[in-house]
Amino acid sequence: MFRAATVLKQASANATEAATEDQASDHSHQTKPRRASFQLDITEDLPTADQMQTILEYVGKNKISSVINGTSTVREALKKFKENVDNLQRPLIVDWNNGRALVSDKESEILKMLGQSNQK
């Protein structure tokens, strides 16, 4: 989880830095795309049942088992989560503003999700 937090903190800092640059400056020579700034909240708290339902909808049916191991439906996942919270896979990264969720600590996957959110 610490790796995911580090990646997200760095991405947030980079986005904030880009947002505060002088808007009158010409940055067209830069080829690296900028991410929209975002609010970063890191929590150890478990999601509520309603939040878990939303997260499972965000990931879609094909990836439910990546959030709650050994499940294939929302109903099954919610039941297994309520039975034992250790069934929740971590780190769980949720973009509440753009309706995306991901279980990963891989930098490339996290940055890809942030990039997709920026393009939305």
pLDDT of residue 41: 77
What's the rounded Cα separation, in Å, for the pair 95 and 72?
22
Q: Are 8 and 94 in contact (CB under 8 A)?
A: no
pLDDT of residue 111: 85
Range name among 30-34, 68-72, 93-97 with the lowest pLDDT average: 30-34
Instruction: Name the residue type at position 97.
Output: N
Which stretch, 3-12, 20-29, 36-45, has highest mean pLDDT?
A: 36-45
